[in-house]
Amino acid sequence: MAMFQEHPRELKVLFLTEMWERFGYYLMIGILSLYMLDTLHGGLGFSRERAADVYGTFIALVYLTPFLGGILADRFLGYRNSIIIGSILMASGYMVIALPGVPAFFTGLGLVILGNGFFKPNISTLVGRLYPPGSPLKDTGYNIFYLGINVGAFACNFVAALLRHRFGWGWAFFAAGVGMLIGMITFLLAGRRLKDIPDRGDGSSVQPGMLRKLCTNVFGPAVLAGLFGYFFLGPYLGGPSTAAFAAACLPVVAFYLSVWLRSPHHERAPIGALLAIFSVVIVFWMIFHQNGSTLTYWAEENTRREAGVLAPVLEALYLEQDATIGSAVPDPDAPGSYWRNVPPEERPAPGEKVILISTELFQSINPGFIILLTPVVVGVFARLRAVGREPSTPAKISLGMFITALSTLFMLGAVWVSQGGQYKVSPWWLVATYGVITLGELCLSPMGLALVSKLAPARVAALMMGGWFLATAIGNKLAGVLAGFWEQIPLTGIFGINLASALLAGIAVALMTPWIRGIIQEVEHGQR
């Protein structure tokens, strides 16, 4: 493909590996809340509050464990071995979730959490290792890598809808495991192309007792703090799981601060800049990862999903969801019914066939926009780079935050039109929300990975990539916390919090940009 021409050939291998891994992950994420809430077709039948808590805690822990995987890869396992271990654990987790029952569900989630910890920071670190210090192509390389993420995320929801409607939830989750195995096989078959890339942090020789010290000083305190939070702080911090996560994060955050304070003088500024960015981008992930919670709730309950002219296409592809009153929906006013908040005069007559767009298909809007807009964004930045006017990496991140703030205005508009969520509204509100936040995501998320690659000292490269995902984890948990208030506070409150937070975060990054840009120049000058 033309977009790979200027880049190392190994980028294609990592692109395809990540594409299949994200196919599995986002397939599972796209139906996770729906599976937990389902009471009619073999789901778990959780309450809304419990489902939001589990979802938020899961996606938080998924991005907390890369801290662990980064440390082990830098010092012991290497990046390639960690990726393989993570692939096996995640594939196993998806297939265990496919088994019926709550014990299998939580066991599978645990395996996915551990597996992502080994996989995610290390494949992202390998991408950065493909480029020499100061390469102007690194930002674009991460944009291309990010495109692979979203190709997988786009396709998976169609597979999820087909399998769960035709065969049941278990087959959909099993398909996620198959996708992960394909990604692992892709990586193994092309592994020889990666043999010349440094496989662990430079200068991180394994010292006697290092693993014991990590367990004593970091992992052990995190586990103990999490247990203390779970059993004693729940009433004060929004429930046991939220309290456990918050408490467990404290030793991890303290460890990152100690890495900064104990680093050689020439490394403190780059590490400090990264920690500053990590603390701010929490806001973006809090907003973005409501796609599987608040935005899924909105798609399920408040979005007009009648397929109309698309009905024959959905039926031909076995993606249909039947909402015919009298057969598929015996009581249109019953809790959980699609027609419950549709005025009686706008409902079809009993027996009149109605096909709906499956809720999880809305999860493909964002990655679909990524696929469409990535070449545009890459082309614009390339044109600006050619004339010497390309924004710096932190400036792109700041721009991404302001665009994210803009996206929240569309959901506030949807809430206003729906009279506070009492009625269904056009799906174009969701399409517009996803379209705008996609632009923000393209400016922020791949640029964050690129920033870590540019600033992180080689000896702790994967560890600092784990720090980026730690920020993601905290944001993800906050997304789940906000989703838990779905039925307790006005929806304008939830999306208003998103707007205010994004604006403040954008201003913070803008103020830091000159400082961080100077540090990047110093680091790149010193490496040449």
Q: Which has more pLDDT, 338 or 319? A: 338
- 5: exposed, middle or buried (C-beta count within 10 Å: 0-12, 13-18, 19+)? exposed
Residues 265 and 345 placed together within one structural domain of the fold = no
Mark whether 401 and 477 lie in a shared domain.
yes
Reported in sequence order, the residue ranges of 367-442 that DSSP labels E, i.e. its strands, are none
| Domain of 349, in residue numbers | 306-357
The predicted-structure confidence for 71-93, as pLDDT tens digits, reads as follows 788 777 888 889 999 999 999 99
List Cβ neighbours of 428 (8 Å cut-off, separation of 6 or more): none
346 plus 397 within the same structural domain: no
CATH number of the domain at 510, please: 1.20.1250.20
d(CA 68, CA 64): 8
pLDDT at 254: 92
Structural contact between residues 144 and 3, judged by C-beta atoms closer than 8 angstroms: yes
For the chain, percent helix, then strand, then coil, each to nearest 5? 75, 0, 20
Q: Are residues 453 and 327 in the same domain?
A: no
| Contact call for residues 463 and 67 (beta carbons, < 8 A) | yes
Q: How many domains is the chain built from?
A: 2
Q: Do 223 and 326 reside in the same domain of the chain?
A: no
Characterize the bridge pairing of strands 320-322 and 355-357: antiparallel
User: Is 412 found in the same domain as 290?
Assistant: yes
What per-residue confidence (pLDDT) applies to 527? 57
Residue 337 and residue 367 in one domain: no
Position 200 scores a pLDDT of 63
Given this model, what pLDDT does residue 132 score?
82
> Coil, helix or strand for 425?
strand
List pLDDT tens digits, range 410-435: 999 999 999 998 999 999 999 999 99
For the chain, how long is the longest CA-to-CA vector? 75
Nearest residue to 98 via CA among 32, 156, 14, 23: 32
Does 73 map to a domain?
yes
For 425, phi then psi, to 5°, come to: -130, 175
38 has a pLDDT exceeding 60? yes
Instruction: Give the end of a domain, one of 330, 357, 384.
Output: 357
203 pLDDT more than 60: no
Average pLDDT over residues 450-470: 85
**Predicted confidence band of residue 314 (pLDDT cuts 50, 70, 90):** confident
Give yes or no for residue 270 having a pLDDT over 50. Answer: yes
Residues 52 and 151 placed together within one structural domain of the fold: yes
Give the model confidence (pLDDT) of 225-235 as tens digits.
Answer: 989 998 988 88
Which of 323, 357, 391 is the endpoint of a domain?
A: 357
Q: What tokens appear for 227 in the block?
A: 């247990």
Note whether 146 and 270 are same-domain residues: yes
Is 322's pLDDT higher than 60?
yes
- Once rounded to an integer, what is the mean pLDDT over residues 375-386? 87
Q: Same domain for 366 and 331?
A: no
pLDDT at residue 145 is higher than 50: yes
**Does residue 204 fall inside a structural domain?**
no
Please indicate, yes or no, if residue 414 is contained in any of the structural domains.
yes
**463 and 379 in a common domain:** yes
Alpha-carbon Rg for the chain in angstroms = 23
Per the domain annotation, does 282 fall within a domain? yes
> Tell me, what's the pLDDT at 199?
63
Q: How confident is the model at residue 285 (pLDDT cuts 50, 70, 90)?
A: very high
Residue with the larger pLDDT of the pair 399 and 204: 399
Residue 469 has pLDDT above 90, yes or no: no
Same domain assignment for residues 377 and 476: yes
Domain boundary among 324, 339, 357: 357
What's the CA gap between 303 and 426, in Å, rounded?
Answer: 6
Average pLDDT value for residue range 321-330: 90
